[in-house]
Amino acid sequence: MYAEHPEGATGRAPEAGDDSLERLIAVCLACAARCGACADACLAGDDRLGRCGRLALDCAAICRATALSGRWRTEASQAMLTALIATCAAACRACAEECGRHADASDPCAHGAAACRVCEEECRAALARWRAPH
C-alpha cells in the first residue's frame, strides 16, 4: 500500500516492502475496538469504573488517530506520526494498568487491557525500528 504512494517512504518511517506500519495500524484499530467495548461496559455499569471507562475512551480515540495518521504518507506527517505513536504507547500503558486493577479474565476490561499491552508493545517496537539507523 505504501510503496504505491507518490512520495514513497520518507524519513525513517518504514520503507517500501516493510509491513511494520500496516501491522501497527491493524493493532491500533484492534485496540481501539477493544477499548470501545471496555468503555461501554464500564460507563454503563458500576459508577466506580468511570475512570476506567474514560481512559478507555481516550485510548480508543488516540489509537484511531494513530492508525489514521499512519495511512497518510507524506513527509510533513512523519513528525506527527512519531509523536502520535509515542502518545499511543503511553495511553495504552495507562489504560492497561487501570483495566487490570479490576478486570476478571472474561470481561471487556480484561480484553481491553490485553489489547492495550499488545498495542503499547507494537508502538514501542515501531518507534525503535524507525529511529534506528538504516
Average pLDDT taken over every residue of the chain: 83
State pLDDT tens for residues 8-59. 444 444 554 468 889 999 999 999 999 999 999 888 876 667 888 999 999 9
CA distance 60 to 34: 8
> Is the model more confident about 69 or about 5?
69
Q: For 16-131, CATH number?
A: 1.20.1270.360
Q: Is residue 53 within 8 Å of residue 39, measured between CB atoms?
A: yes
Q: Say if residue 95's pLDDT is above 90.
A: yes
- The per-residue pLDDT for 119 is 98
Q: Give the per-residue pLDDT at 16.
A: 42
Give me the pLDDT at residue 60, please.
Answer: 98
Q: What confidence score (pLDDT) does residue 12 get?
A: 46
pTM for the model stands at: 0.82
Higher-pLDDT residue of 1 and 113 is 113
Q: Please say whether the beta carbons of 38 and 111 come within 8 A.
A: yes
The DSSP string of the chain is -GGGSTT-S-TTSPPTT--HHHHHHHHHHHHHHHHHHHHHHHHHS-GGGHHHHHHHHHHHHHHHHHHHHHH---HHHHHHHHHHHHHHHHHHHHHHHHHHTT--TTSHHHHHHHHHHHHHHHHHHHHHHHHS--
More confident residue, 78 or 70: 70
Q: What's the chain's length in residues?
A: 134
